[in-house]
Amino acid sequence: MAEAYTSGAHQAAAPLPTEAEQRSANASVGELLGEVTKDLSTLMRQEVALAKAEATESAKKAGKGAGMFAGAAVGGHFVLLFLSLALMWGLGALMPLGWAAVIVAVLWGIVAAVLAAMGKKEMKQVKGLPQTAETIKEIPPTLKPGEQTR
């Protein structure tokens, strides 16, 4: 019975090497680099495919949202139109209808002028893409062979 405990039956067996470990032990550095390059290429293709799928889905949702905003803008336009007509007819009860229409038109002209001035002010603050423009200017010298770039 004492022999059963000393026979070594309880010793842990060494784990078998994985397939990747077996390949790396037998492969040359060139083969390993080729495999890494292939894996990186596959990974990049998969990332690009994922980005395309996400961009397509995002573009579809953005298109639907833009369409809904356009519909809301049309609805808002009609609201303003009918409110303007109601104001014109309301003023028409106090004065000739022609003059009421002129007053409503002048009010809308003032609104348009104020919005145009505000829009012009905002557009003057647009700086464009200064960093992108600067890096694009640096590309042509970089591509010229034999010249050093700073």
15 domain-assigned: no
Q: What is the mean pLDDT of each run of 10 residues along the chain (150 residues)?
A: 53 74 75 84 88 88 94 97 96 95 97 96 86 74 60
pLDDT at 143: 61
Residue 75 lies in a domain: no
Looking at the domain assignment, is residue 145 inside a domain? Answer: yes
- What is the structure's pLDDT at 11? 60
Closest CA to 66 of 126, 55, 120, 58: 58
- Identify which of 50, 46, 48 has the alpha carbon closest to the alpha carbon of residue 38: 46
User: What pLDDT, on the 0 to 100 scale, is given for residue 85?
Assistant: 97
77 within domain boundaries: no
Query: Is 146 inside a domain boundary?
Result: yes
pTM of the model: 0.50
Within a domain: residue 89? Answer: no
Name the residue range of residue 127's domain: 95-150
- The count of structural domains within the chain is 1
